[in-house]
Amino acid sequence: KIRRIGARRGVIMATGGFGRDIEYRMMQLPELNSDLDSTNHAGATAEALKQMMLIGANPIHLDQIQLGPWASPDEKGFGTASQFNTIATYPHGIVVDVRTGERFFNELADRKARADAIMTRRDEKGQPVYPIGFTNAAGASKAQTLDWGLKYKVISKAETLDELAAIYGMPAKALKAQVERWNEAVKSGIDKEFDRPMQEAIVLDQGPWYAVRMWPKVHYCMGGVKVNTQSEVLHLVSNKAIPGLYAAGEATGGIHGASRLGACAVAEGVVTGRNAGRNCAAAKPTELKQS
């Protein structure tokens, strides 16, 4: 049944981003096509954003879309690999190009730099060539999703580097040489190849090895509608508050810039949400214009 719900004080749009809306996100960044899955739920689409824009909301930073560089193409959504790579691979392991067995970026760079680097791994036809991230048992000791990743065959286990190379079709000799160079870097405390911080790096001198194929997923939309400090949505032309319209969380834009720092979305949601709720509840009842 179709139901009409009236609002006397206001409407709060806490509708999230549009990470699942492939058509709309490609309008902002054409390279974010169907090659990339998303960590978001199925309802993370642009309909609510468009409705706000239709009544004058000012969209800002819509082309600033963050990719999660820790995801795997071998599972849907956020999955098990994301936690494994965050806890194990990135701080205690390395990521290599499957074709060369060699590293190609700083594994502890910011999210955008890492995702951009991984996205360069493509064949002559432009198709993804998924890099391999791996560590050993010591590096994976605190990875809570290791068992689940192994169960669902997202994470592979190998007793030796030769076995690991065979699983993913990597050149074993080059892979072992890369691991040797990495171990020397750990012992010296200096990564001469990519200037990676080495505080959490460990020597990878024995198996078993745990590895995962990697490819970024659309994770967070830094863009959304412009709001003021009261969480009121501002009009595109007048830059004044649209009466009765508030926005909170990922539906808002302009807070994070080009690369949101991890966990800051929680603070954004709390602050803008409380502002929106407090100010909407305090607003005088009025007849909001129906659109």
Burial 103-116 (b: 16+ CB within 10 A, else e): bbbbbbbebbebbe
Kindly name the residue from 103, 111, 121, 260 that is annotated as catalytic: 111
- Indicate the pairing of strand 217-221 with strand 224-225: unpaired
Q: Are 161 and 207 in contact (CB under 8 A)?
A: yes
* C-alpha 89 chain-centroid distance: 16
**Are the CB atoms for 273 and 230 separated by under 8 Å?**
no
Q: Is 274 a catalytic residue?
A: no
**Separation between Cα atoms, residue 47 and residue 272, nearest integer Å:** 21
Q: Note whether 272 and 247 are within 8 A (CB).
A: yes
- Kindly state the helix (H) or strand (E) to which residue 175 belongs, with its residue range: helix 172-188
| Burial class for 287, CB neighbours closer than 10 Å (0-12, 13-18, 19+) | exposed
Residue 269, Cβ density class (10 Å: 0-12 exposed, 13-18 middle, ≥19 buried): middle
CB atoms within 10 A of CB 22: 17
Gap between the Cα atoms of 69 and 82, Å rounded: 8
Classify strands 217-221 and 94-97 as parallel, antiparallel or unpaired.
unpaired
What whole-number distance in Å separates Cα of residue 129 and Cα of residue 35? 11
Cite the active site residues.
111
